[in-house]
Amino acid sequence: MATSFPNSMRSLQIHSPRKTILGLILSSVLMIVWLVWLLVAQIHLYEVSETILVTGNEVVTVTFPSEAIGLLKRGQTASLMLDGRVGAKIGPVPAIILNVNDNLEENIVEASVLVYWDEVAFDNFPFESGAEGQIQVEIEQISPIALIMRSAKSAIEAASAPTPDNTNDAN
């Protein structure tokens, strides 16, 4: 049986829409905060070298994968991340890139990096020569929305790229 019109009007007058309006306001505020984060926040993108053997020398030569070609520049700040308990104790060691060589024949990037050992406190924890580690270089700061757009663009390009014809002649 259908509700009569006078009963539905009385129901609308008795029940206030406060909870609904409050929910809409709260969800709108959360959406605005999320959009501001999406546009303003910065994500740090790093390029990480292959594992190196650290001897304590100030200048270290490291190799980066082919994805780093054209991204590394002289004067960029870097960090030496030591493996094991030494790395856990002292954290990242500051460094700077001195020289970059994009080796296109071998499809790698070689870089000379100056490590600032004097800025690390080895209090009651002596440095172990022969420790392994990696050089980490920040190559870009990008907003989340720009990263999403870049990923979407590369996905569209990958989807629209021509694929080789995989037809087999069965004779």
pLDDT per position as a tens digit, 128-151: 667 788 999 999 899 999 999 999
C-alpha dist (Å) from residue 127 to 61, 62, 73, 84, 130: 19, 20, 29, 12, 9
Other Cβ atoms less than 10 A from the Cβ of 140: the count is 13
Instruction: Return the pLDDT at 60.
Output: 85
Cβ atoms of 139 and 97 within 8 Å: the answer is: no
pTM of the complete model? 0.63
Report the C-alpha gap between 8 and 5 in whole angstroms: 5
Q: Which residues pair with 43 in a beta bridge?
A: 142
State the average pLDDT over residues 104-128.
Answer: 76
State the average pLDDT over residues 5-15.
Answer: 67
Q: How many CA atoms lie within 13 A of 80 on its CB side?
A: 30
Instruction: Report DSSP state, residue 116.
Output: -
pLDDT digits (tens, 9 = 90+) for 35-78: 999 999 999 999 999 888 777 678 888 888 888 888 899 999 99
What rounded mean pLDDT belongs to the chain?
Answer: 83
CATH number for the domain running over 43-142 = 2.40.30.170
